[in-house]
Structure 1
Amino acid sequence: MSIQFGVFVPQFRIDVSGMRARAVAAEHAGFDSFWLMDHLYSPGGKPTASLESWTLLTMLAGSTSTIRLGHLVGCNPLRHPALLSKMAATVDNISGGRLDLGLGWGSVEAEFDMFGIPVGSRRERAEALGETIEIFRKMCAGEPFDYDGRHFRLRGAYGLPAPVQSRIPIHIGGGGKQLTMPLVAEHADWWNCLGSARHRIDELAPLRGQARISAQYAVGFAQRSDEIPEVAAVTARRMPDQSWGTPLVGTANMLIDQLNDERRRGVELFVLRFHDFAAPETLERFGRDVIAKLS
């Protein structure tokens, strides 16, 4: 089973030039994909600068040439599905067919309260996500259509230009048996397992249908063994286990062993969030000392 590597760089406390430098470095290092967060603020943190995700993604599409781009995951309640579809098709055209569409039904209640965004119950949000994906696929086809759903109603709608890709891959993130996994089985090309749900991956994987498995990992990448305690402490502070699950920590050879263990659990795409905010030199070193040896 071939594996892929993505890097997740939530765009807070990093300016535009810093995000560009990381995306370019990830591409040069051999990463397959580069992922952003999709929030109007930094959840759980102090007020800090946070760039809007789709605008930033557009800039990154123009700054790179081969790496795939997306969100883990897009917050569905923030946009009407017709607008989301138009944005996705536009970015896919700008990037030459390199968009992956990550979506979630929106679980950060505080964000909706903070910005006054009207949303329904968790179940209603999950239902709306299913309708969004159905509308998205119809919009991508470029032909006029009607749609009658519980949450959305469209008449004679169409999406042009069509995306460059014949099928933009959809990643649905989460680990809930009742609301998320049925959506994954019905709609997703990829199931993105949150770090906090990784300990249940063997239990959840049979519920994913035909979707391939990606998973999120906090990574503490040490150059030497004597750096491991300090790197482990920084990783635990910035990405606590309750949110990110047990981190991968160690030197290159140690990380290769840990990644191979996860590979045997069926993970095909490793989405990594590094302890040092994915400094370009860290991405370069990871590409040379880890990715190249696992290819």
Structure 2
Amino acid sequence: MTGLGFGLFQPQLKTDVASMISAAQAAEAYGFDSFWVMDHLLAPGAPPCDTLESWTLLTALATSTSTLRLGHLVGCAPFRHPSLLAKMAATFDRVSGGRLELGLGWGSVESELTAFGFEPGSRRERSEALAETLQILDLMFAGDPFDFAGKHFTLAGAYGLPRPVQPRIPVHIGGGGKQLTMPLVRAYADWWNCVGSARDRLDELAPLRGTARISAQYAVGLVHDEADRDAVAARIARRMPVAAWGQPLVGTPAELVSLFETERARGVELAVVRFDDFGSPDTLRRFGTEVISPLRERSS
């Protein structure tokens, strides 16, 4: 059985750069493998609030950490032309010393695209455009001049230099749709990120992923004291509803170890977690020392 890695999802809403840096440094110190931000220009479904731009923020996190892998859960491909995205990704991989995890999706929030002047097109058109984006990224990362003539993008005499540090930047494609997402996972992804709302269908969808490894998203409520269990469950239900996040994992560290062992047995190799208290220092410490460490020891 393969080991189980852990990522921390920390959306950059109603926060500042210093707080995000502190969270990333704590995640690195307590044994998380990766740290993930969102890629939105607004907070979907929420009133207007501070929402830091993701690539700029990740660069600050890269210069403030040393081993933590960094990425988007997941990047919105329609926001950036693929040639610009490739240049940004290669530059960030250089800045971070080869720590980029490239999460991408075809953009599921049409109202956000429209609000900021991006022509959304149809869902199928956005999926087709993402397929072309992934092809162009490979060509850009190779560093050689190339032409590309697609339905959505045309490039002539383009090239991507400097090349990334990593021989291949891992591509994570997020979603759970059989028609528009899973074919992209099979064709292009190193990782399939199963969103929380699709996790109850993981066993059904997994055969469609091809050779991509499986990561999954989890709403997690760590019970520090048995007397607080009901409060933790209520808070996670309010902040991360089942419709968006799937059934939450709520329990003491020992109970969470057991729950994540079950997920590992289902084939999940990376668990990306979002905590009910948004990752307080004490929660990150206890989760790292009492959940991640025991699981790592059992798989060694």
- Verify same fold: TM over 0.5: yes
The alpha carbon displacement at 1:264 in A equals 1.1
Runs of 4+ residues over 4 Å off in structure 1: none
Q: Which amino acid aligns with 1:232?
A: A
Q: Which amino acid aligns with 1:294?
A: L
Cα distance in 1 for residues equivalent to 2:91 and 2:181: 27
Q: Does 1:144 pair with 2:165?
A: no
8 Å contact kept, 1:21–1:280:
no
Cα distance in 1 for residues equivalent to 2:88 and 2:52: 17
Residues 240-279 of structure 1 deviation map (CA, whole Å, 9 limit, x = unaligned): 0000000000110111111111111110000000111112
Q: 2:17 maps to what in 1?
A: 16
Q: Which amino acid aligns with 1:209?
A: G
* Helix, strand or coil at the partner of 2:63: helix
Residues 183-235 of structure 1 deviation map (CA, whole Å, 9 limit, x = unaligned): 00000000000000000000000000000000000011111222111011000
Q: 1:102 maps to what in 2?
A: 103
8 Å contact kept, 2:114–2:120:
no
Q: Which amino acid aligns with 1:158?
A: Y
The alpha carbon displacement at 1:155 in A equals 0.6
* Helix, strand or coil at the partner of 2:179: coil
**Aligned Cα RMSD in Å?**
0.7
8 Å contact kept, 2:74–2:174:
yes
Cα distance in 2 for residues equivalent to 1:2 and 1:264: 10
Q: Does 1:92 pair with 2:93?
A: yes
Q: 2:280 maps to what in 1?
A: 279
Q: Which amino acid aligns with 1:160?
A: L
8 Å contact kept, 2:82–2:137:
yes
Cα distance in 1 for residues equivalent to 2:284 and 2:14: 18
Q: 1:76 maps to what in 2?
A: 77
- Identity among equivalent positions (%) equals 64
Q: 1:244 maps to what in 2?
A: 245
Q: 1:223 maps to what in 2?
A: 224
* Helix, strand or coil at the partner of 1:7: strand
Cα distance in 1 for residues equivalent to 2:140 and 2:295: 38
Residues 9-63 of structure 1 deviation map (CA, whole Å, 9 limit, x = unaligned): 0000121111000000000001000000000000011111010000000100000
How many aligned residue pairs are there? 295
Q: 2:260 maps to what in 1?
A: 259
8 Å contact kept, 1:13–1:49:
yes
8 Å contact kept, 2:38–2:74:
yes
TM-score of the pair, normalised by structure 1: 0.99
TM-score of the pair, normalised by structure 2: 0.97
Q: Which amino acid aligns with 1:240?
A: P
8 Å contact kept, 2:147–2:156:
yes
Q: 1:234 maps to what in 2?
A: 235
Q: Which amino acid aligns with 2:75?
A: G
Q: Which amino acid aligns with 1:243?
A: A
The alpha carbon displacement at 1:119 in A equals 2.1
Cα distance in 2 for residues equivalent to 1:178 and 1:49: 35
8 Å contact kept, 1:7–1:35:
yes
Cα distance in 2 for residues equivalent to 1:112 and 1:128: 14
The alpha carbon displacement at 1:105 in A equals 0.3
The alpha carbon displacement at 1:175 in A equals 0.2
8 Å contact kept, 2:8–2:34:
yes
Q: Which runs of 5+ in 2 are unaligned?
A: none
The alpha carbon displacement at 1:117 in A equals 1.2
